[in-house]
C-alpha cells in the first residue's frame, strides 16, 4: 500500500529559513541544511522549499543551498517560489530538486505547465494553488494570496492537470494560520475533481488535524505544514506513530 | 569504480551524491573506454522508454553495455533504466529493450483499477520474494520511493520484490549479474542508500 506522506515546508529567504524556528538541540536553526537533515531523520517523506527571495543574489544563494541539501538528504525535494520560465525549472532541477512547484507563474502563463511537463515529465510539475472562498465560490488567488484572480479554483486545477501537472498542492487561505484543521470541504472538492496526487496545506494545528484529514478524505495523498513542525508543536515521528495507530498507512 | 551511464536522459545529481555519501567511487560517463575500465555499471533513466533506448542506441552505448554484461560485469538499472533491461516495452507502441531479462514492460492503467492514481508515486513497502545480496541490509516492508506509470511483467525468473498498488507490481529484479529496481534508491532515504551500498559490495557468482 502506498503510504500517506507528511511534508514539512521551509520558506527560505536569502539563504536562511524564515519564520521563527525553535528546535531544541539545534544550534543554527535557520540553516536550511540543518533543518532538512533534522526533518529527514525524523521521518519526513519529502521536503518542500519555497524561495521567497526578491533579489537575484539571494536566488543564487538559494540554488547553492539547494545543491547542498540535495547532497545530504536522499528523499524527494520539491522547490517552489519565483518559477516563471523553463529556465527556472532547469536551474532548480540541476541543483537536485525532483519536482518544481508553480503558482503565479502558471497563472500568468498556463503553457508553462505543458512545456515543463513535456520536457521533464508530469511527475516533475506540481501546481500549487492558493484558494479562498469568495461569494460562496472557491477562488484562485495570486501573488502569495494577495490578489483575487477571479478564476474558479476547481476548473483552474482541472485545466492545470490536463496541461500536464502531476500533483496539486491546495493551500486554503481560509484555514491557513488558524491552526484549527485542514480545509476538508475544499480539499474534498479538489480530490473529487482530479486523479493526480493532492497535497493538503493550510490549517494544521495538532496531530488530530492530520488524522482527521486522512480519515475524512481517503483519497488525499499528503499533508503539508510549516510552523507546527518548525516550532516543534508536532514531532513528525510522533505524528506518524499516531497515524499508524489510527490505521493510516505511513512510512515508519 | 562504478560507471553511471550518461546518455543524456534524466538528472544524475542525486544518484551521484548518494554514491558519494556511501563512499563509493563512481563516475558519470558516456565514454566506452571508461565504462570498460569500471567494475560495475549503473543504468539510470527517467522519461519515455522509446526516447531513452533510442538515445542509448544512437550513442552506441547499448553495444558497450551488452558487451560488458556478457563479460559478467554487474549492472544495476534504476527506474526506466531497469525497464530497459527487459526484452520489450509497450509504452506508446512496442519497443525492444536490451533483453538481459525475460519479460516486458506494460502500462499500469490496463492492470489496476481506475480509482488508483497513475503514476504510482510515493513511498511504498517492499515485499521481498527471495534473498539476494542486494537486499542484505534491508528487510520486508521497508519503504522505498516510486514514480512510474509502467511496470515489468512476466519476469518470474528474475523477480526479487514487489510493491502492492492495486496489484503486485514488480519492484526489484535480479538475474545473474543483472539487477534492477523500479523505485529510486537515491530518493529512498536510508533504505535506498543501503541498497546502493549492497550493490557496491555485490560479488557476482561466476
Return the domain boundaries, chain B: 2-201
CB A252 within 8 A of CB A244: yes
Judging by DSSP bridges, how do beta strands B26-29 and A5-13 pair with one another? unpaired
Residue A101 grid cell = 512547484
- CA B84 to chain CA centroid, nearest Å: 8
- Which positions of chain B have pLDDT values less than 70? none
Percent of chain A with pLDDT over 90: 72
Contact B189 A75 (CB under 8 A): yes
Q: In percent, how much of chain A has pLDDT > 70?
A: 96
- ipTM value: 0.90
Q: Which CATH number characterizes residue A68's domain?
A: 3.20.20.70
Instruction: Report the distance separating Cα B43 and Cα A20, nearest Å.
Output: 43
Nearest CA of chain A to the CA of B163: how many Å? 7
Q: Containing domain of residue A209, as a range?
A: 5-245
Cβ pairs bridging A and B (under 8 Å):
76
Chain B: nearest CA to A122, how far in angstroms?
Answer: 9
Number of domains observed in the structure of chain A:
1
Q: What is the pLDDT of residue A29?
A: 62
Which pLDDT tens digit goes with each residue over B41-57? 999 988 789 989 999 99
Q: Which residues, listed in sequence order, are joined to residue A169 by a DSSP beta bridge?
A: A128, A199
Interface test with A, best of B26, B108, B123, B167 (most A CBs within 10 A): B123
3-state secondary structure at position B77: strand
Helix (H, G, I), strand (E, B), or coil: what is residue A228?
Answer: helix
d(CA A31, CA A127): 27
Domain presence at residue A252: no
B17 neighbourhood in chain A, CB within 8 Å: 70-72, 74, 96
Contacts of A178 (CB under 8 A, 6+ apart): A203, A205
Residue A19: per-residue pLDDT = 63
Contact: A3, B122; criterion CB under 8 Å: yes
Q: What pLDDT was estimated at residue A20?
A: 44
Q: Higher-confidence residue: A129 or A178? A: A129
User: What's domain B2-201's architecture?
Assistant: 3-Layer(aba) Sandwich (3.40)
Residue of B nearest to A7 (CA): B122
Cα–Cα distance between A102 and A142 in angstroms, integer? 11
Provide the pLDDT confidence category of residue A24 given band limits of 50, 70 and 90: very low
> Min CA distance, A19 vs chain B (Å)?
27
Task: Using DSSP bridges, classify how beta strands A167-172 and A198-201 pair: parallel, antiparallel or unpaired.
Answer: parallel
B38 catalytic residue (yes or no)? no
Query: pLDDT per residue over B65-84, tens digit each?
Result: 999 999 999 999 999 999 99
State the DSSP string of A113-179: HHHHHHHH-GGGEEEEEEEEEETTEEEEEETTTTEEEEEEHHHHHHHHHHHT--EEEEEETTTTTT-
The model's pLDDT over A165-199, given as tens digits with 9 standing for 90+, comes to: 999 999 999 998 888 999 999 999 999 999 999 99
Conformation bin of residue A242: beta by default, left when phi > 0, alpha when psi is -120 to 50: alpha
The shortest CB-CB distance from A74 to any of B118, B165, B192 is to B192
Which residue of chain B comes nearest to A222, CA vs CA?
B122
Amino acid at each position: 500500500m502506498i503510504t500517506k506522506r507528511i511534508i514539512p515546508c521551509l520558506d527560505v529567504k536569502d539563504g536562511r529559513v524564515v519564520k521563527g524556528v525553535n528546535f531544541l538541540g539545534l544550534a543554527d536553526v535557520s540553516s536550511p541544511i540543518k533543518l532538512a537533515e533534522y526533518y529527514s531523520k525524523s521521518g519526513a517523506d519529502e521536503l518542500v522549499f519555497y524561495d521567497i527571495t526578491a533579489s537575484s543574489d539571494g536566488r543564487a544563494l538559494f540554488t547553492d543551498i539547494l545543491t547542498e541539501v540535495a547532497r545530504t538528504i536522499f528523499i524527494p525535494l520539491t522547490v517552489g517560489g519565483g518559477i516563471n520560465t523553463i529556465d527556472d525549472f532547469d536551474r532548480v532541477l540541476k541543483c537536485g530538486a525532483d519536482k518544481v512547484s508553480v503558482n503565479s507563474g502558471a497563472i500568468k502563463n498556463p503553457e508553462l505547465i505543458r512545456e515543463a511537463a513535456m520536457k521533464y515529465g508530469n511527475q516533475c510539475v506540481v501546481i500549487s494553488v492558493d484558494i479562498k472562498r469568495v461569494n460562496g465560490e472557491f477562488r484562485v488567488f495570486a501573488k502569495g494570496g494577495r490578489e483575487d484572480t477571479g478564476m474558479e479554483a476547481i476548473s483552474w486545477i482541472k485545466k492545470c492537470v490536463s496541461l500536464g501537472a502531476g500533483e496539486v498542492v491546495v493551500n486554503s487561505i481560509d484555514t491557513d494560520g488558524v491552526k484549527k484543521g485542514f480545509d476538508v470541504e475544499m480539499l474534498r472538492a479538489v480530490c473529487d475533481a482530479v486523479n493526480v496526487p493532492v497535497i493538503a496545506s493550510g490549517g494544521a494545528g495538532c496531530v488530530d488535524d492530520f488524522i482527521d484529514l486522512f480519515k475524512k478524505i481517503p483519497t488525499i495523498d499528503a499533508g503539508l505544514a510549516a510552523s507546527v513542525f518548525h516550532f516543534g508543536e508536532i514531532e513528525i515521528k510522533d505524528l506518524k506513530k499516531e497515524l499508524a495507530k489510527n490505521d493510516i498507512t505511513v512510512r515508519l | 569504480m562504478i560507471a553511471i551511464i550518461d546518455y543524456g536522459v534524466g538528472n544524475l545529481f542525486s544518484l551521484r551524491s548518494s554514491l558519494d555519501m556511501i563512499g563509493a567511487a563512481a563516475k558519470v560517463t558516456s565514454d566506452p573506454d571508461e565504462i570498460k575500465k569500471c567494475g560495475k555499471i549503473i543504468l539510470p533513466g527517467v522519461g519515455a522508454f522509446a526516447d531513452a533506448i533510442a538515445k542509448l542506441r544512437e550513442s552506441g552505448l547499448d553495444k558497450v553495455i551488452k558487451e560488458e554484461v556478457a563479460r559478467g560485469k554487474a549492472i544495476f538499472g534504476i527506474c526506466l533504466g531497469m525497464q530497459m533491461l527487459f526484452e520489450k516495452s509497450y509504452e506508446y507502441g512496442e519497443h525492444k529493450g536490451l533483453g538481459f531479462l525475460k519479460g516486458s514492460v506494460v502500462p499500469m492503467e490496463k492492470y489496476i483499477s481506475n480509482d488508483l492514481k497513475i503514476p504510482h508515486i510515493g513511498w511504498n513497502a517492499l515485499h521481498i520474494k527471495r534473498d539476494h545480496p542486494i537486499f542484505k541490509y534491508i528487510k520486508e516492508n521497508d519503504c522505498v520511493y516510486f514514480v512510474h506509470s509502467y511496470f515489468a511483467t512476466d519476469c518470474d525468473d528474475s523477480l526479487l520484490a514487489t510493491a502492492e498498488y492495486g496489484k503486485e507490481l514488480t519492484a526489484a529484479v535480479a538475474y545473474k549479474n543483472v539487477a534492477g529496481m523500479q523505485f529510486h534508491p537515491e530518493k529512498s532515504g536510508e533504505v535506498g542508500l543501503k541498497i546502493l551500498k549492497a550493490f557496491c559490495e555485490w560479488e557476482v557468482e561466476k
